[in-house]
Structures are given as structure tokens and as C-alpha cells.
Structure 1
Amino acid sequence: MILKDNIGSIGGMEFAAFKLKEGVSEDILIELSKQVESQFLSQQEELIMHFLVRGKDGLYADVAIATSQQKAEEYCQQWLSNPVALQYLELIDESTVDMTFWSRIN
């Protein structure tokens, strides 16, 4: 999990719910998430927090919190050109993805 000192400047969030492809383990998901954080997300200055959560029935969510919704969307687009992020995305069953972006209102 990434957590930076500027937590008071939270302004936006990306919330991506998904299921894993058949045969992919949660352990692999967690390991690749750690690699994405260390090799890619840790370099994004306006990314405040990143973490995974698990829900019911094999549902997961990848959450990225940034200084603005615009920054959260920018970082999301950058996943598509980062080699380790692309490996992470390969674990996900694309037909189950529900990605939304949010702006802080208070």
C-alpha cells in the first residue's frame, strides 16, 4: 500500500472493481500489486494512496487516491504504457471490470 504524507490533499479517486481470470491466485495479484507500487506508482508525486480490497464472491477493487480526479484519471491511463502494470492488468477478467472516478466534495 502506498500512503504519502499529503493525505490532507485528497481530491480524487479511481475505484476499479474486478474479478481475476480463472486460475489466477490472490497471491499473484498481491505480488504484482506490490511491484506496480514500487516500480511505477511510487514515482507519481500526486498519488496519495493505493491499495487493494477484497469483497464477496471473488470480487476485488483497486483503489488509487490522488490530489484530484484528473490526476487519478491520468495515472490510470499511464498503466497502459507501463510494463509491470500491463502484467497486473493481464490477471484481470476484463468482462468483470467496473471502473469509476470520483471527486472529493467536502
Structure 2
Amino acid sequence: MILNGNLERFGGMEFAVFRLKQGVSEEQLIEMSKEVEKGFLREQEELISHFLLRGKDGIYADVAIATTQQKAEEYCQQWLTDPLALAYLDLIEPDSVNMTFWAKVN
């Protein structure tokens, strides 16, 4: 979902790969992602886009695109204090998370 602008402003991103906790459905993840976008992420002016990807074997990726890598990292830290974001994180198996940050170079 494009949140605040267009992809021409893209300068950095967060890419987190994870598995859902036992008993959590993809539908629950999608619904909670929409809630986080409406109630938390829309307020982040330099966050351009946020979306989920599904890979093979129950692997998901959460992607947040921002104006800079630094902004992507800052927004990621804010997830730890926002009630909606914490509810989203509660759906994820903590030991499965692999989070990386990227800066656009071209």
C-alpha cells in the first residue's frame, strides 16, 4: 500500500522475514497489517509504502519503504511502543524473525 507519496522518494527500506505463530492465520495477519497501516503507519510522513509478501513454506516478509534507510530504522523502533504494532508483532514467531535494512544505491 502506498501511504505517503510515491516510490520516486524511495531511499531505504526495512525487510523482515518471519513465520506466524502456531494457530495464527494469514487472514489475521492481513487484517492486523491493515489496522497498523490505518492507525500507526499513515502518521509516519517519510514512510512511503508498506506491504506483506508470502513466500514458500509459511514464510512471510514485511516490507516498509521510506525516504531513507535511517527513517526505515526509526519507524521500525517505533513499532515497539505502538499498541497496534505490538498486536501485529504478537502474531509472529519471535525466533523466526530476520530483519534487515537497506539503502538505495542506484
Q: Which TM-score tier does this pair reach, normalised by the shorter chain?
A: over 0.9
Runs of 4+ in 1 over 4 A off after TM superposition: none
The answer on whether the counterparts of 1:2 and 1:37 sit within 8 Å (CA) in structure 2 is no
RMSD: 0.8
Aligned to 2:27: 27
**2:50 aligns to what?**
50
Partner in structure 1 of residue 60 of structure 2: 60
Percentage of identical aligned residues: 68
Question: What is the TM-score normalised by the length of structure 1?
Answer: 0.97
Alpha-carbon deviations, 1:22-42, whole Å to 9, x = none?
Answer: 000000000000000000001
* 8 Å Cα contact 2:46-2:71 kept in structure 1: yes
Distance 1:40 1:2 in 2: 14
1: distance between equivalents of 2:38 and 2:59?
A: 24
- For 1:13 and 1:52, the matched residues in 2 are separated by 13
Structure-to-structure mapping, 1:1-106, within 5 angstroms? 1-106=1-106
Asked whether the equivalents of residues 12 and 70 of structure 1 are also in contact (C-alpha less than 8 Å), the reply is yes
Structure 2 unaligned regions, length at least 5: none
In 2, the alpha carbon distance for the partners of 1:87 and 1:2 equals 22
Structure 1 regions of 5+ residues with no counterpart?
none
Cα deviation 1:14-65 (Å, max 9, x = unaligned): 0000000000000000000000000000110000010000000000000000
Give yes or no for contact 1:17–1:62 (8 Å, CA) kept in 2: yes
Return the offset for 1:9. Answer: 1.3
In the TM superposition, what is the alpha-carbon distance from 1:67 to its structure 2 partner? 0.3
